[in-house]
């Protein structure tokens, strides 16, 4: 299927490695030119060269934190001559570790860090590039949240609260930018194997086996499967889908909505 994104410009955040880089590779494989945003300049430049070499598209690397307004300004400087972004994929950082029960989350510094990494950073990037998208009168915004934002589980309060905040923020945004031809959706994953493209196991063998029992499919999902859902939401064919959250968790969540 031709997704209709060849020649478009896609901005992917937190994309020097892991899930963000996998998403960038998938969009580049469909012919989209890529702008990567991440903090580590050296690793980011290597990732950009890898994507460009593998897919033959134009790739730009912008070093900076999602929380930094100056980074948002640098993004606009790069994107405006490209007449983009046509696509914005928001990948945000993990909450502080180790995981704790909600009643044990009494350290306000941990709450503040989770807010800054997951919600504030997403809002800052959107504020920086949305005027460019609105001027184009089309676009796709997709945020990676978490299945725990829909069905909270014990020990994930720092993630559930602020990823739910991202969901609410984008739901509100979707109604306001729809007249500009921009769709806004979330993808809520769980049980995704994050070792892809890193060569490092994210979990011990015992942890991996336990996670396999949490889904009716009896396995963990791959980053390619997650990225395929994101790519569809960025496509021409998904033009009538907005304000939604697509859960990608192998059937783990049992909620009807």
CATH of the domain at 198: 3.40.50.720
Least confident residue range of 51-60, 85-94, 171-180, 248-257:
248-257
Residue 21 covered by a domain: yes
Is residue 137 very low, low, confident or very high in pLDDT (cuts 50, 70, 90)? very high
Structure confidence at residue 25 (pLDDT): 98
Task: Report if residue 189 sits inside a domain.
Answer: yes
- Can you tell me the distance from the alpha carbon of 3 to that of 116, in angstroms, rounded to the nearest whole number? 33
Instruction: Please write the tens of the pLDDT for every residue from 224-241.
Output: 999 999 999 999 999 999
pLDDT single digits (tens) 5-50: 999 999 999 999 999 999 999 999 999 999 999 999 999 999 999 9
Report if residue 75 sits inside a domain: yes
Number of domain units in the chain: 1
pLDDT tens-digit map of 157-190: 999 999 999 999 999 999 999 999 999 999 999 9
Establish if 94 belongs to a structural domain.
yes
99 pLDDT band, cuts 50/70/90, is confident
Does 203 map to a domain? yes
Whole-number Å distance between alpha carbons of 162 and 212: 26
Query: Which structural domain range is residue 16 located in?
Result: 9-248
Q: How confident is the model at residue 150 (pLDDT cuts 50, 70, 90)?
A: confident
Does any domain span residue 194? yes
Q: Is residue 169 part of a domain?
A: yes
Please report whether residue 27 resides in a domain. Answer: yes
């Amino acid at each position: 299927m031709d997704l209709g994104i060849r020649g478009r410009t896609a901005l992917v955040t937190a994309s020097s490695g892991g899930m963000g880089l996998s998403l960038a590779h998938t969009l580049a494989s469909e012919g989209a030119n890529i702008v990567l945003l991440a903090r580590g300049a050296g690793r980011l430049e290597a990732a950009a060269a890898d994507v460009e070499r593998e897919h033959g598209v134009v790739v730009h690397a912008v070093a900076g934190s999602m929380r930094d307004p100056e980074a948002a300004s640098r993004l606009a400087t790069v994107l405006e001559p490209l007449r983009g972004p046509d696509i914005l994929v928001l990948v945000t950082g993990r909450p502080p570790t180790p995981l704790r029960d909600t009643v044990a989350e009494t350290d306000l510094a941990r709450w503040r860090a989770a807010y800054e990494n997951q919600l504030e950073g997403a809002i800052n990037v959107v504020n920086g590039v949305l005027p460019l998208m609105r001027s184009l009168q089309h676009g796709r915004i997709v945020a990676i949240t978490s299945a725990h934002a829909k069905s909270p589980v014990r020990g994930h309060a720092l993630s559930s609260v602020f990823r739910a905040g991202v969901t609410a923020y984008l739901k509100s945004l979707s109604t306001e930018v729809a007249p500009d031809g921009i769709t806004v959706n979330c993808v809520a994953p769980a049980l995704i194997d994050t070792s892809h493209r890193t060569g490092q196991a994210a979990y011990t063998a015992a942890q991996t086996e336990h996670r396999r029992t949490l889904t009716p499919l009896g396995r963990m999902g791959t980053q390619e499967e997650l990225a395929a859902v994101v790519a569809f939401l960025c496509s021409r064919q998904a033009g009538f889908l907005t304000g939604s959250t697509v859960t990608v968790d192998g059937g783990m969540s049992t909620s009807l909505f």
